[in-house]
């Protein structure tokens, strides 16, 4: 049977494979660009592989020297769903806090190191910083999707300099980008784009986080934009427009007529751009709002439509505060008969620089020229009305929409807390990130998404203490603080419940453990139509959990019953009995052979023929599976290990294993799985011993249930078919 489509890289590609943003203050950007970089430590805290894995290694001594002793360290960055700010927890290993996150999509990432929620520091080994955020660093993951964010070859780009000017009350500064080939003197005048920042956003953020210089350089080199001067200001009120435009006209060779003036901005800067175009339509012929918050049209439609050649609106998804505002604004503009264009809803970003970079890339090529495409960007959707989660306290959480947006809400128990996050498996390929909640009265709330269809598990972290979401009735027996939820969709079909009358049964099996000297329990899945009296006994599959888990985990977290039910109904599964025992014992081989298996045979009509028996396990259970294979080759004809290494080859009877095993299939997560390296080394041991096995490449994801669910999805249909 061919592999199910879950495995990404092949074994040959699965080994570990291992940019700078401009940082400058608005008043001294030229000086900073010319000054030598400060010396940095020899060993970088961050390494980014060619395929986008970010490996962090932060010396504990450096953290303590900077902020004092801490009990936890996280990397805060724009890693979350919709590029939201999130926390990636590091693990203390000896003298280093470390962790691997990825693969990250191509683009620019910003981050800071934080201990105990509030003690932040900059990575001193990364020279790429953010002028307005002293603790932030940045790194760039190259790729085709981010090619316009990359640096152009030396000497081919434009120039950025600081323009200082006076208003009535004070001296201010702006950043000015001039295109390649611009000269201070000559016959040619250039059109001007005034690019504003928003509240809490510095002008330098357009360079450090918005990659405005790289975007403009690349568009210029590709001749995808008209040559223009771009003036970046800090989102000052419209009262300073006249002074800034005057200073630009005096310093640069620019057109002064409205037909050659454009204005755009992010957030509040976008609101200002809209107001300027709608209330003074004779000043700017082009206006763009990137997550602007204006909700009313204003102004005379005839004057606006006559003077404003382009009014284009941009918004992120429902996590963007501009989403509802844009919905109201479009209705107001429609009522007023004011012409505008809408770029559509960006499904993959909220109100952040990842979205605004795309907005700038779309907007600039439309300026001061005729274009044929006036529709939304590829992949962008329509507004579906305002997004309004249930009122606080009116519904259990999480509240999940049909398109994968999830709203979390605490009870009032944490109204005095200082820092509350939701920690869940929503990082790339199922790794874990903490998304901060914000205060909402006497509760904490956040909307996260869109999440891909799949099974998610989470817990609240309240002032560094794990807490169960008591509003969610789901439970995980071995991890009392975890809760679960499912985002429906075709990709998650095999993890969903089948109709009750078509499902197999899950029953408890109590047995006496002579190893643990106590009564213990296993869970047993029997297929639909299970017949204890049929002539031929059923094949039996013994499926083991990992360390820190128990016999309940494959049902509560692994979704084993749903996976088996669907495979059976799809005709992919040989009817079998699946026994999930308790592997937390000192002698697993004895427990399985003398306790679990005899109890299963006494209760269920299962085969004792080795050719009709299978054994698999994850992590610790995978190690136990290998131990059984070494000690009792041929006892189980079908053997599989998930995220576990084979270990030593000393004393292993390779011939007996090959003769007695019809299938030995191995699985492991990618380099975010902490056993990945040892697993890959164990393949060499198997090869040297001459043991036959199957391994079709890593399962993308960490040492977690996202990987192991996919492993079971792949394995179960392969059993008892040879």
Using 50, 70 and 90 to split pLDDT, how confident is the model at 377? very high
User: What is residue 17's predicted lDDT score, i.e. its pLDDT?
Assistant: 28
Q: Quote the pLDDT of residue 537.
A: 98
**Region 167-187 average pLDDT:** 90
pLDDT recorded at residue 198: 80
Residue 607 vs residues 88, 540, 613, 720: alpha-carbon distances, Å: 47, 7, 7, 12
In this predicted model, which residue has the larger pLDDT, 23 or 495?
A: 495
For residue 223, give both structure tokens: 């001749």
pLDDT value at residue 115: 97
pLDDT at 631 over 90: yes
Q: What's residue 282's pLDDT?
A: 87
Gap between the Cα atoms of 49 and 647, Å rounded: 28
Q: Kindly state the average pLDDT of the residues 311-325.
A: 97
Q: Is the model's pLDDT at 4 over the cut of 70?
A: no
Three-state SS for 624? helix
Residue 21 has pLDDT above 60, yes or no: no
Torsion region of 529: left, alpha or beta (phi above 0 gives left; psi -120 to 50 gives alpha): left
Report which secondary-structure segment, H or E, holds 305.
helix 301-307
Q: At what angle do helices 560-569 and 705-715 cross, to 10 degrees?
A: 30
- Residue 669's nearest CA partner among 637, 614, 622 is 622
The Cα 109–Cα 129 span in angstroms is: 11
**pLDDT-derived band at 318, boundaries 50, 70, 90:** very high
Q: Quickly state the pLDDT bin for 41 (edges 50, 70, 90).
A: low
**Helix, strand or coil for residue 335?**
helix
Q: Name the band, by pLDDT with cuts 50, 70 and 90, for residue 237.
A: low
Structure confidence at residue 236 (pLDDT): 61
Confidence of residue 270 (pLDDT cuts 50, 70, 90): very high
Check residue 235 and give its pLDDT: 62
Please, where in the chain does CATH 2.60.40.10 lie? 37-148, 399-488
* pLDDT confidence tier of residue 7, bands split at 50, 70 and 90: very low
**652 contacts 630 by C-beta, under 8 angstroms:** yes
Fold of 37-148: Immunoglobulin-like (2.60.40)
pLDDT digits (tens, 9 = 90+) for 87-127: 999 999 999 999 999 999 999 999 999 999 999 999 999 99
Helix then strand then coil, in percent of the chain rounded to 5, is: 30, 25, 45
Q: How confident is the model at residue 669 (pLDDT cuts 50, 70, 90)?
A: very high
Average pLDDT over residues 426-444: 95
Q: Which two tokens stand for residue 313?
A: 């609106």
Structurally, what CATH architecture does the domain formed by 399-488 represent?
A: Sandwich (2.60)
**Number of C-beta neighbours around residue 331 at 10 A:** 14
Which tokens in the block code for residue 268? Answer: 């509040």
Structure tokens of 110? Answer: 């910003």
* Beta-carbon count within 10 A of 238 CB: 15
| C-alpha torsion sign, points 287, 291, 294, 295 | positive
Q: Is 252 within 8 Å of 160 (Cβ atoms)? A: no
Which strand (E) or helix (H) includes residue 276? helix 268-279
Calculate mean pLDDT across residues 338-348. 97
Bridge-partner residues for 169, per DSSP?
Answer: none
Q: Which residue has the tokens 């998304």?
A: 435
Q: Angle, nearest 10°, between helix axes 212-221 and 353-363?
A: 30
Instruction: Tell me which H or E stretch contains 713.
Output: helix 705-715
Structural element, H or E, at residue 421: strand 420-424
pLDDT grade for 9, boundaries at 50, 70 and 90: very low
**With b meaning 16 or more CB within 10 Å and e meaning fewer, what string describes 540-577?**
bbbbbbbeebbbbbbbbbbbbbbbbbbbbbeebbbbbb
User: Does 493 score more than 90 pLDDT?
Assistant: yes
Place of tokens 């559509």: 344
Say if residue 716 is exposed, middle or buried (CB neighbours under 10 Å; 0-12, 13-18, 19+): buried
Instruction: Provide the pLDDT for residue 187.
Output: 84
Q: 450 preceded by cis ω (within 30°)?
A: yes
- pLDDT score at 20: 31
Identify the pLDDT of residue 288.
98
- In this prediction, residue 42 has a pLDDT band, given cuts at 50, 70 and 90, of confident
What is the SS3 assignment for 567?
Answer: helix
Token look-up 């000017």 returns 165
Q: Give the start-end residues of each E strand in 437-555.
A: 438-440, 443-448, 454-462, 465-467, 483-487, 505-513, 518-526, 540-544
pLDDT at 472 over 70: yes
Record: fold of 497-718: Rossmann fold (3.40.50)
CATH topology of domain 165-203+217-366: Rossmann fold (3.40.50)
- C-alpha neighbours within 13 Å on the C-beta side of residue 531: 7
Q: What is the pLDDT of residue 408?
A: 96
The whole-number average pLDDT for the span 5-19 is 29
**Distance separating alpha carbons of residues 356 and 316, to the nearest angstrom:** 9
Tokens at 591, concatenated: 């427990």
CA distance 282 to 241: 14
Asked whether 146 and 140 are in contact (CB, 8 A), the reply is yes
pLDDT of 14: 30
Q: Does the structure show a pLDDT above 90 at 27?
A: no
pLDDT for 2 equals: 30
Whether residue 240 is predicted with pLDDT greater than 80 in this model: the reply is: no
Residue 239: what pLDDT?
A: 52
3-class DSSP state of 709: helix
The answer to whether 627 and 592 are in contact (CB under 8 A) is: no
Q: Where are the alpha helices (DSSP H) in 17-125?
A: 29-34, 60-67
- pLDDT category of residue 394 using cuts at 50, 70 and 90: confident
Q: What is the mean pLDDT of residues 459-479?
A: 96
User: What is the chain's alpha carbon radius of gyration, rounded to the nearest angstrom?
Assistant: 30
> Residue 105: what are its φ and ψ, rounded to 5°?
-65, 155
Condensed to tens digits (0 to 9), the pLDDT of residues 671-694 reads 999 999 999 999 999 999 999 999
Q: What is the dihedral of CA 373, 378, 379, 385, to 10 degrees?
A: -20
Question: If DSSP codes are grouped into helix, strand and coil, which group holds residue 237?
Answer: coil
Locate CATH 3.40.50.1820 in the chain. 165-203+217-366, 497-718
The stretch 423-446 carries a mean pLDDT of 95
């Amino acid at each position: 049977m061919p592999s199910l489509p879950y495995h990404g890289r092949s074994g040959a590609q699965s080994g570990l494979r291992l940019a700078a943003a401009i940082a400058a203050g608005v008043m001294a950007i030229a000086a900073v660009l010319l000054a030598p970089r400060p010396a940095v430590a020899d060993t970088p805290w961050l390494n980014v592989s060619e395929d986008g894995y970010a490996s962090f290694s932060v010396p504990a001594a450096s953290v303590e020297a900077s902020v004092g002793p801490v009990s936890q360290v996280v990397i805060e960055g724009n890693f979350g769903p919709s590029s939201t700010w999130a926390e990636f927890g590091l693990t203390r290993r000896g003298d280093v806090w470390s962790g691997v996150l990825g693969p990250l999509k191509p683009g620019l990432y910003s981050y800071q190191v934080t201990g105990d929620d509030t003690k932040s520091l900059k990575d001193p080994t990364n020279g790429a910083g953010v002028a307005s955020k002293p603790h932030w660093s940045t790194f760039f993951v190259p790729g085709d999707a981010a090619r316009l964010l990359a640096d152009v070859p030396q000497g081919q780009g434009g120039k950025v300099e600081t323009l200082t000017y006076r208003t009535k009350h004070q001296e201010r500064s702006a950043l000015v980008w001039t295109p390649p080939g611009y000269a201070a003197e000559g016959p040619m005048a250039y059109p001007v784009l005034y690019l504003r920042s928003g509240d809490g956003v510095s002008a330098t953020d357009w360079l450090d986080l918005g990659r405005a210089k790289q975007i403009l350089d690349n568009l210029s080199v590709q001749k995808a934009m008209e040559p223009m001067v771009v003036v970046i200001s800090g989102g000052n009120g419209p009262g300073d427009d006249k002074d800034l435009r005057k200073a630009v006209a005096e310093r640069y060779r620019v057109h002064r007529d409205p037909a050659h003036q454009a204005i755009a901005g992010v957030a509040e800067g976008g609101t200002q751009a809209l107001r300027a175009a709608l209330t003074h339509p004779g000043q700017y012929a082009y206006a763009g709002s990137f997550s602007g918050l204006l909700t009313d049209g204003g102004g005379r439609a005839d004057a606006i439509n006559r003077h404003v050649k382009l009014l284009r609106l941009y918004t992120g998804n429902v996590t963007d505060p501009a989403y509802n505002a844009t919905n109201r604004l479009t209705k107001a503009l429609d009522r007023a008969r004011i012409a505008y264009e809408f770029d559509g809803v960006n499904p993959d970003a909220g109100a952040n620089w990842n979205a605004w970079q795309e907005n700038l890339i779309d907007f600039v090529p439309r300026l001061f020229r005729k274009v044929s495409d006036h529709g939304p960007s590829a992949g962008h959707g329509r507004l579906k009305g305002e997004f309004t989660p249930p009122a606080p306290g009116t519904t259990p959480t999480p509240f999940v929409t049909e398109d994968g947006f999830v709203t979390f809400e605490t009870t009032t128990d944490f109204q005095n807390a200082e820092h509350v996050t939701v920690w869940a498996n929503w990082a790339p390929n199922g790794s874990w990130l903490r998304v901060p909640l914000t205060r909402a009265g006497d509760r904490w709330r956040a909307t996260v998404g869109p999440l891909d269809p799949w099974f998610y598990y989470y817990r609240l972290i309240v002032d560094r203490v794990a807490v169960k979401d008591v509003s969610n009735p789901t439970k995980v027996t071995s991890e009392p603080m975890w809760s679960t939820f499912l985002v429906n969709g075709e990709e998650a079909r095999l993890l969903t419940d089948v109709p009750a009358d078509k499902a197999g049964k899950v029953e408890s099996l109590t047995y006496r453990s002579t190893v643990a000297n106590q009564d213990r329990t296993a869970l047993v899945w029997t297929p639909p139509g299970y017949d204890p009296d049929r002539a031929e006994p059923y094949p039996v599959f013994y499926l083991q959990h990992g360390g820190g888990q128990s016999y309940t985990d494959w049902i509560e977290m692994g979704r084993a019953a749903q996976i088996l039910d669907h495979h059976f109904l799809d005709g992919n599964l040989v009817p079998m009995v699946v026994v999930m025992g308790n592997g937390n014992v000192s002698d697993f081989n004895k427990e399985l052979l003398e306790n679990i298996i005899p109890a299963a045979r006494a209760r269920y009509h299962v085969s004792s023929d080795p050719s009709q028996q299978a054994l698999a396990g994850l992590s610790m259970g995978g190690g136990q599976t290998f131990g059984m294979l070494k000690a009792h080759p041929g006892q189980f004809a079908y053997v599989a290990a998930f995220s576990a290494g084979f270990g030593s080859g000393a004393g292993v009877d390779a011939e007996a294993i090959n003769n007695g095993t019809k299938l030995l299939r191995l699985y492991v997560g990618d380099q975010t799985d902490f056993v990945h390296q040892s697993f890959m080394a164990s393949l060499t041991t198997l090869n040297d011993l001459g043991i036959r096995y199957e391994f079709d490449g890593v399962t993308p994801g960490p040492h977690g249930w996202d990987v192991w669910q996919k492993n079971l999805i792949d394995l179960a249909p392969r059993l008892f078919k040879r």
